[in-house]
Amino acid sequence: MRNVTMGNQQRSLENDLHWLGGIIDGEGAIMAIKRSEKHRTNSYVPKITIVNTNPIIIRDCLSILETVGLPHYVQTKEGKGTWKTKIEIIIAGYKRVSKVLPILLPFIRSKKNQALKLLELVNSRLEKQANGRGIHAPYSDYEIKLTKEIKQLNKGSLILPETIRQEQRLTSEIWKVMESRQLEAVKI
């Protein structure tokens, strides 16, 4: 009986991670924020956020993150007038994002390209740190290119060939379903 219970718990956690991936796709952001500092070159902060005004959604997101042991922090901004209070879950920084993305990546769909590029950037920067050059080493042209691609993906202006193929397959499947439903309606 114990194995069955463990299997059910594992499935429940997997379902929760799928749900969290959907929340990130719909209510979240995956980005590299440009930061300028005095006497230093520009730097970028990798960041994943989930923003919502519904405390139940935030509570469930936090519960999943804590169950899996993923680092995060929470900010709240009080709403003014008729505006609701905004709650933001933040995962920021190279080490935190390097722990979170490999776990959540399989569950993210519409922002998968941003997540993959951000993970490439994070791994590149952490590799420099491991090689003794430090996290504050100048950004390579490739790393800067990754930050720009993430920004373009977030704006919806960078379409990758893989994305086009996925959209074409999805559109084709939708049309097939619609056609089969029309045929069924004609038979009735």
Tell me: the pLDDT tens digits for 81-136? 898 999 999 999 999 999 999 999 999 999 999 999 999 999 999 998 877 776 67
Which stretches of the chain are assigned E, i.e. beta strand? 28-35, 43-52, 73-77, 86-92
Which stretches of 21-150 are assigned E, i.e. beta strand? 28-35, 43-52, 73-77, 86-92
pTM: 0.76
Q: Which residues pair with 91 in a beta bridge?
A: 48
Tell me: the pLDDT tens digits for 135-162? 678 899 999 999 999 999 999 865 555 5
